[in-house]
Structure 1
Amino acid sequence: MTLAQARENCAEQMKFVSQGLDPRKMEAVKSVLVDHIDNPTINDCIEYWFKNYCLPRRDKPAEIKLRITSCLRTLWAKQYVSIMDKTHFSAMFKAMNDKSIEKGRGKGFSFNAIIEIRSALRFCVRQGFIDNTQFEALRPGDFASDYDVREHYLSIQECKLIWAHVDELNITDRNKIILRCAMVFGCRISELCSAKKTDFDLKAMLFTTQRENTKGALHSIIRPIPNDLLADLQYMKEQSPSFKHMFPNRDGDYPANSSSVSQISKACHQEIEGVAPFRMHDLRRTISTHLTDAGCPLQFTEKLLGHKMKGVLAIYNKSPMLDGLTEWVNRWVIMLKGE
C-alpha cells in the first residue's frame, strides 16, 4: 500500500468512526462485491436484471430481453432512472407500444414487453440497484392490449381428415411425424422439437419430456406411446444415427426450428379440403375438448397436456397415471382413425 493509498483508506475508515462504528466490525459488509452505478439508466437496469436474474432463472432469456429492447426507443434506454417520475414512465411505456405497432407486431407483444421491463425494474429495486418506484402505480393494460384468448379447436371431422391425409401433405417426413405426435400427445411443439431420441423408449412405449424442456421447467411429463406411432418413431430414430435429437434441424443435430414446424398447420388447411385454418397449438385444446366430451376424467387430460396439478393433488399426487393415460390415448387414436 502506498502512502497515498494509506491516507485514502484512513479517510474511509474515519467515516465509520465518525458515525460511532468500529471499522474492524465492518469486514463482512466490505467483503461483498456490489454492482454499483452512480446513476443507472433504463438500459443499465435491463442489463443488471438480465445478468443477475433473467439469465440464470428464466427460460429463453435472450428472447425475453430482445422482446423488451425491440420495443424500447433509444432515447428512453439512455434515460437516467433516478429523475423519472410517473409521467416519464407513462411516456416510456406508451412509446414501447407505439414502436411495437409501427413494427407490425401482433396484439399483446408490447403488453408482455411492458410486463417484463416492470419486472426488471422491480428486481433492481429489490436488489438496491435503484430506489425509484414511481413505475409501480402503472399497469401494462393502461398502455397496451393483451393477446386475445384463443378458443379455436378442430372438429372431430377435421381431425379425421388430417389423420387420413398426413402422408399426402407436401411436407417432410419429419414434419409428418411431428404432426401425428402433436395430434396424439397434445404436447407443445417445443417439447417435440427439443426431444432427444433417448426420450422415446419404444420398448416401454413411453415418451418422456424432460423437465428442462417443459414450460416453466416445473416437472417432467411421461406420455404413453400408442402402437400406431411406433413405426414412425422407429423410422425417425434410424435417420441420422449419430444425431441425438429425434427431430433434428435440417442443418445438423440441433432442435427442429419451432417457427418452421408451426407452418405444418398451414399445409393442412391449404391442402386438405374441409380443414379450416388453425395453429399447431390448437391441437392441445382439441384433444382436451374431445377427450372430455368422450368422458375422460379431467386429471388424465391435464396429465397428458403436461399441466401442473392444482391443490392437494399438486403436492402429494406424483403418479404418472400411466394405466389411465394409456387407455385414453388409445381411445383418442381410435377416434382419429374414425373406427
Structure 2
Amino acid sequence: MGTQALYRSFAKNYFIGAFPERNVETIPAREWMQWLDTISLDKPKTANSLFTKLRACLNFCKSKFIIEKTDLDRIKRQHVGKAPEVGTRVPTFSELSMIWLAIERSRASSSNKALHQLTMLWGSRLSELRLARRSHFDMEAGIWTVPKELSKTNTPVRRPIPTKARVILERVMATYDDVLFPGGDLDRPITISAANRYIRRIRDGLPIEDWRTHDFRRSLSTGASELGVMPHVVEKMLGHELGGVLAVYNKHDWLKDQLEGYELYAEKLDSYLK
C-alpha cells in the first residue's frame, strides 16, 4: 500500500499531463530524454528516481501485454539526472529532540504530529504506522502487529508498545476511530505526499543538516546499539528479517528485549528534551 501511494504521487506530480493524448508506445526516446532533462535541471535525484519508477510501470504493462514496447527502453538510468546516494544520515539525539519539539509546537493535526513522533520512537517505516488500524494494537498485551500486507518483508512484524509511545497512542485512540492517522478525510489514512509535505515544513524551519523521516530508522539502529541492545534485537525492532539459519528456524520476536531497548532509547531522547 505504501509503494502504491508513492507511485500514485509520482504519477500525479509528473506523469499525468506530461504527454497529453499521446500513445506511450509512440513517444520517441528524444522526447522522453528532453522531459527527464527538464526535471533534472532543478531535481536531478528526482529525475533519476522518476525514470526508475516509470520504467517499472511500463515493464509491468508489457508483462501484462497491455503494450508491446516503448522508446524509454533505449535510455539508461546513469544518463538521467543523478542517482540517489545511499542513506548515511543518522540524526543525533540532540537533533531528534529539536525535531520532536518542532513537531510538538507545529500547527498540524494531532494525527500528523503523532504519526511522526511515533515513527521516531519505534524506528518503523512510515507507512507501517500511516496505514495502521486500531485492531493492529493490542493495548492489553502491549503489542503492535504490522500485518503482512503492510510489511515490506511480506511477513507480520511484532513490536512492543513502550511507555512513551503508549501515552501518544492512547491519545490518538481517544480522538480517532479505526483509522488512527487520518488526513482531511477521517475515514482515510493521511497520504504519503501530505505526510512528506509536513515534514518538509518542519525540516525547512530547523538549522540542522538535511534529514528525512526514514533517517529515524538509522537513529534507532545506531542509538539502541550504543545503549547496549543486541544486534538481533535491533534488527527485530526495525522489522528486518534475520539472516542465515535464524531466518529459517527462529521465529522468536524477542519482545521483552525489544521493549527494554525501546524504553532505553526513549529515556535517552527524553534526557535531551528536558
- Change in Cα spacing, 1:71 to 1:299, as seen in structure 2 (3 Å) is farther
How far apart are residue 93 of structure 1 and its match? 5.3
How far apart are residue 202 of structure 1 and its match? 1.4
SS at match of 1:223: strand
How far apart are residue 245 of structure 1 and its match? 0.6
Q: Write the letter of the residue equivalent to 1:205.
A: G
2:144 corresponds in structure 1 to: 207
Q: Write the letter of the residue equivalent to 2:8.
A: E
List aligned pairs for 1:120-269, cutoff 5 A: 120=60, 123=63, 130=68, 139-163=76-100, 167-215=104-152, 218-240=154-176, 243-266=177-200, 268-269=202-203
1:27 corresponds in structure 2 to: none
1:108 aligns with 2:18: no
Higher relative contact order, structure no. (Cα contacts within 8 Å, ≥ 6 residues apart):
2
How many equivalent pairs are there? 268
RMSD over equivalenced CA pairs, Å: 3.7
How far apart are residue 239 of structure 1 and its match? 1.3
List aligned pairs for 1:325-336, cutoff 5 A: 325-336=258-269
Distance 2:185 2:70 in 1: 47
- Change in Cα spacing, 1:142 to 1:122, as seen in structure 2 (3 Å) is farther
Distance 1:285 1:251 in 2: 32
Contact 2:24 2:70 in 1 (8 A): no
Ranges in structure 2 where 5+ consecutive residues have no aligned partner: none
How far apart are residue 165 of structure 1 and its match? 6.3
Deviation string, structure 1 residues 150-183 (Cα, Å, up to 9, x no partner): 3222112122344466543333322332232111
2:11 corresponds in structure 1 to: 66
Q: Write the letter of the residue equivalent to 1:284.
A: R
- Equivalent pairs: percent with the same residue? 21
TM-score, normalised relative to structure 2: 0.78
Q: Which has the larger radius of gyration?
A: 1
Moved more, 173-182 or 159-168: 159-168
1:98 corresponds in structure 2 to: 37
Contact 1:107 1:147 in 2 (8 A): no
- Change in Cα spacing, 1:115 to 1:134, as seen in structure 2 (3 Å) is closer
- Change in Cα spacing, 1:260 to 1:63, as seen in structure 2 (3 Å) is closer
1:285 to 218, 224, 248: 218
1:299 to 232, 236, 245: 232
How far apart are residue 223 of structure 1 and its match? 1.1
Distance 1:162 1:62 in 2: 27
- Change in Cα spacing, 1:78 to 1:72, as seen in structure 2 (3 Å) is farther
Distance 1:162 1:65 in 2: 26
- Change in Cα spacing, 1:327 to 1:142, as seen in structure 2 (3 Å) is same
1:38 corresponds in structure 2 to: none
Contact 1:302 1:308 in 2 (8 A): yes
- Change in Cα spacing, 1:215 to 1:251, as seen in structure 2 (3 Å) is same
Moved over 6 A (4+): 132-138
1:77 corresponds in structure 2 to: 24
Contact 2:179 2:186 in 1 (8 A): no
- Change in Cα spacing, 1:269 to 1:212, as seen in structure 2 (3 Å) is same
